[in-house]
Amino acid sequence: MPDTTEFTEYIEVLGARAHNLKNIDVIIPREKLVVITGLSGSGKSSLAFDTIYAEGQRRYIETFSAYARQFLGGLERPDVDKIDGLSPVIAIEQKTTGKSPRSTVGTITEIYDFLRLLYARGADAYSYNTGEKMVSYTDDQIRELIVEKFDGKRITILAPIIRSRKGHYRELFEQISKQGFLKVRVDGEIKDIESGMKLDRYKTHDIETVIDRMAVDTSAETDTRLANSIKTAMYHGEDVMMVIEQESGEARYYSRNLMCPSSGISYPNPEPNNFSFNSPKGACDYCNGLGVINEINIKKIIPDPKVSIKKGGIVPIGEYKSSWIFKQIEIIGEKFDFKITDPIEKISAEAMEMILNGGKEKFTVSSKTLGVNREYKIDFEGISSFIRNQHDESGSASIKRWAKEFMDEVECPVCHGSRLKKESLYFKVNGQNIAELSAMDISDLAEWFENLNENLSEKQKTIASEIVKEIKARLSFLVDVGLNYLSLNRSSRTLSGGEAQRIRLATQIGSQLVGVLYILDEPSIGLHQRDNEKLIKSLEQLRDIGNSVIVVEHDKDMIERADYVIDIGPAAGRFGGQIVSKGTPAELLQEHTLTAAYLNGEKEIAVPKKRREGNGKTLKLTGATGNNLKNVSIELPLGKLICVTGVSGSGKSTLINETLYPILNAHFFNGVKKPAPYKKIEGLEHIDKVIDIDQSPIGRTPRSNPATYTDVFSEIRSLFTQTPEAMIRGYKPGRFSFNVSGGRCETCEGSGLRVIEMNFLPDVYVECETCQGKRFNRETLEIRYKGKSISDVLDMTVDDAVPFFENIPKIYRKIKTIQDVGLGYITLGQQSTTLSGGEAQRIKLATELSKKDTGNTFYIMDEPTTGLHFEDIRVLMDVINKLVDKGNTVLIIEHNMDVIKLADYIIDIGYEGGKGGGQLVAKGTPEEVTKNKKSYTAHFLKKELS
């Protein structure tokens, strides 16, 4: 049973020991904005997420029945003595919103659901053929319209049966005849139904049943006859009928459903699913509602045409081996006069077309089976065709992933990225279809809805009032958390962790829950200083309606606006895990802690006395127009620290990550990612390589760790093989790997843990009883270097490992750089899945630093200060400055003013986010940029430099 705790005005945590926490006690005031701060690795997340949130989740799960709990993952009790005063907990972490291609900003926030309802109930329909407004009528309205239009004229009333379809229709004519009708209209000509009547089966035909031919007047007799004929025509025409004036031949269509009066095109009466790209009723049939399709990219199949087929020039089939596919290509070679040893670029276009896409011609293949020579006629499918078929038809997820490696996502040519059927796009509210609204920036969409009421009919206003009210509220919350530049059709896969977190925050504000404890992980990440104020106000709004808000944060403004601050330290890893100060921001400033020293000005990241001159060479990118960029041209001075700045959504990532980096990667490493549109690049000869140090994980399984990623583990394993005992036993490096059989513990297969399935209770992870969590078998653990086994070494922190290996240069150099980037607190064997994006990025940086340097490398880093305390930033920037001092160029996309003020050169993109951005606002040294009165960055930078 869950603990029963009486709610008080405090959350009381007693004896917290998760990870590096030192049995701490802390009292957290309820219904306040509380910031937990401290150095990276000091234990902030261990307290907030691994203790408080974990206990909240556990209590929630334990309210379920035993039957329900068996379907849920295991939730261990956090390592804490007691937590009192805990209300329901919601964590808003920095995880991306999933990988589903069907998830968008609109679906996550539920705004798109309200839009679908608005369009199903209040939109006007238009014909995709003529552009006319579609209409639907009752039978009485149709009768009145016919009398009004055709009074005094003779008409023919028809029921459409077949429209533009091939066939001879002999059975259909027999059926119509049996129903008592004598005439039909076939392809515009009225004919008597004759016995055995049929049409040319290979031509398309239009067939209507003639229901009645009559003169129209206002008499009661005509009125009754007309009403009966309408009812009959609607029955046989499935709610559609046609009227032709006999003298002029003018035709009009009438329908109980929506229909174009001129062309007869009809739509079903709309439901919300008709506007859903996740429903067969609304989704584009060609792309299944994804808005994109996968197309083969030949450059991914053949990245280097100078390589021969035999040497692996065709990547999907690899290097030559005795296999059926190479036998077939050799036969094609005989026909087209080439050898598989020839460079691919020397093979004729006709031959390559056959190799890639196959052909109708059959080839003769000789094969010796059981001593008898046999000949076979075979089709060659083509490598591109094979990949496409595997992607489209294979039931295996791994095969589909393999095939996708050779494809690009391109816009669907049918729906042009809207994801919807053609008919759905011809329903409009105030002249806009639902896809056009979804493509607007949220700020523009909010303005559109503000002005909507004055353009609606009274009926539409009545229908739309409540729906529009909900949409406007949700849009305003997104604007308030700094996401005004996003659009509803933006795929959730393309959102950064910070954007995804702020969308969840906006959704929670919209839900108006009360009495909840919210825990957030650095919500200010990715936000420009200008937008920070809005974010803080949103958190205060959550607090003010009666919720408790705990934020793990390093942002100075956030700390100063908090009601209560908890500072964890004094250092990272095993030297952290203690409460070094707690209280109001004013009380914190009086403490003698590292955080207080940076907040009260005792310590600071100093502005350099002199900016670097660089090497006088430049890299020039001209005419970038991707996404919202408006023909941007930039000149990057080499040998300097460059910062690209600008408000969120202004186009920084498009300019650097989607344009510049793919250009450089293609030039130096044959990268296949297509850059966003640009005119030209100049100055490539001045650099010798590009390295993008991003925040993607260093490994996707728990078996990956800092030691394996940096390759220092290979050196450590080799070192262990050189110990006397290992040499006597003949142990090779593989003996000291936990990924292969031989030296690892086979009971747990080198993981150190075993999973015990508890059926209706959560799975329990227990230490492997064979190896006691050490991953290796007894014989391997007997080998020791300086008294430590291979398992002991993996459990060492980097700070401990540096002096331990100081006499082994190959190992020392690699782990020292990990320490230099501020990661001394992590262990060499720490699972990569437990590392944050910022930690993963710094491990990549350390790996690059440990390599031999040419002095002409161009480094790109996207927000490297993510998750860093002021002191961590100082340490990191010292390392980056050393890279630049060696002659390299480092380009950083950054919002943090402590980094921006250190730059030698700034490129500021703006002026706003979304369509209001994409322009070069300012460039030059920080001092030069501060003189620009239109730059938001300049406004905040001026305060830092003063």
Q: What is the pTM of this model?
A: 0.81
Are 83 and 105 members of one domain?
A: no
Task: Supply the Cα-derived Rg of the chain in whole angstroms.
Answer: 35
Q: What is the token pair recorded at 693? A: 């140090």
Q: What is the tens place of the pLDDT at every residue in 546-573?
A: 999 999 999 999 999 999 999 999 988 8
- 241 Cβ contact list (under 8 Å, min separation 6): 142, 157, 158, 159, 160, 211, 230, 233, 234, 253, 254, 255
Of 213, 235, 269, the residue that ends a domain is: 269
Coil vs helix vs strand at 481: coil
Q: Which of 428, 427, 432, 475 is nearest to 450 (CA)?
A: 475
* Any domain includes 238: yes
* Any domain includes 417: no
pLDDT at 757: 61
pLDDT at 4: 38
CB atoms within 10 A of CB 583: 14
Burial zone of 887 (CB within 10 Å; 0-12 exposed, 13-18 middle, 19+ buried) = middle
Burial 805-840 (b: 16+ CB within 10 A, else e): beebeebbebbbbbbbbbbbbbbbbbebeebbbbbb
Q: Which of 48, 8, 89, 61 is nearest to 547 (CA)?
A: 89
* Any domain includes 20: yes
pLDDT at 60: 87
* Residues paired with residue 241 on neighbouring β-strands, in sequence order: 254
Is the separation of the CB atoms in 934 and 647 below 8 Å? no
Are 165 and 233 members of one domain?
A: yes
Are 137 and 264 members of one domain?
A: yes
Could you please report the per-residue DSSP string of 849-888? HTS---S-EEEEEE-TTTT--HHHHHHHHHHHHHHHHTT-
Of 269, 302, 331, the residue that ends a domain is: 269
Q: What is the tens place of the pLDDT at every residue in 293-323?
A: 999 999 899 988 999 999 999 999 988 887 7
Are 136 and 227 members of one domain?
A: yes
* Any domain includes 900: yes
Q: Which of 782, 789, 790 is nearest to 725 (CA)?
A: 782
pLDDT at 762: 45
CATH number at residue 786: 1.20.1580.10
Are 621 and 634 members of one domain?
A: yes
Of 799, 834, 869, the residue that ends a domain is: 834
CATH number at residue 184: 3.30.190.20
Residue numbers of the chain with a pLDDT score lower than 70: 1-8, 70-75, 95-99, 363-374, 376, 378, 700-702, 755-766
pLDDT at 6: 44
CATH number at residue 691: 3.40.50.300
Are 260 and 151 members of one domain?
A: yes
* Any domain includes 778: yes
Distance CA 523, CA 540 (A): 13
In Å, the largest CA–CA distance within the chain is 117
Are 440 and 535 members of one domain?
A: no
Backbone φ, ψ for residue 733 (5° rounding): -55, -35
* Residues paired with residue 657 on neighbouring β-strands, in sequence order: none
* Any domain includes 149: yes
Domain count, the chain: 6
Are 484 and 540 members of one domain?
A: no
CB atoms within 10 A of CB 475: 25
* Any domain includes 422: no
* Any domain includes 421: no
Are 133 and 265 members of one domain?
A: yes
Residue 261 sits in which domain range? 127-269
Are 749 and 668 members of one domain?
A: no
Are 583 and 621 members of one domain?
A: no
Are 264 and 132 members of one domain?
A: yes
pLDDT at 764: 52
pLDDT at 848: 85
pLDDT at 126: 94
CATH number at residue 389: 1.10.8.280
